[in-house]
Amino acid sequence: MFDFDSELLERLVREIALYYLNRAERMMTEPNRQVETLQRLNWAQRLWYNYDQMLQQIPVRESTQMTEINDLIRQVESTLVSLENSNDKNDDDEKIIEESGS
């Protein structure tokens, strides 16, 4: 059916974009659903943009948002390592106190 994971991803993104487009088209006939319709159209637009990029195999450079996310991930990972090291040091200090107190 699919030879590569990328082909499957392309197909999924395309199908989801078409789903939101079809849903928005149906919602356009319903009164007072403009906000929901616009939301689905925006989702379809974003997905279809990504689909176009995948089809054209355009190299995508890391966006500012992705850079920020990656920086935050590194920051949180660094904090976790620092906390683990601090906990290990506290455990060692407690062992030394217990041994000297015995």
pLDDT digits (tens, 9 = 90+) for 23-42: 998 988 887 878 888 888 88
Residues 67 and 38 in one domain: no
Residues 13 and 49 in one domain: yes
Residues 34 and 74 in one domain: no
Q: Which domain holds residue 2?
A: 1-60
Residues 52 and 11 in one domain: yes
Question: Do residues 40 and 23 lie in contact, with contact meaning Cβ atoms separated by under 8 Å?
Answer: yes
What's 38-55 look like in SS3?
HHHHHHHHHHHHHHHHHH
Q: Into how many domains does the chain fold?
A: 2
Over residues 31-88, the pLDDT tens digits come to: 787 888 888 888 899 888 888 888 877 666 665 655 776 787 777 787 667 767 877 7
Residues 6 and 56 in one domain: yes
pLDDT of residue 55: 80
Q: How confident is the model at residue 4 (pLDDT cuts 50, 70, 90)?
A: confident
pTM above 0.85, yes or no: no
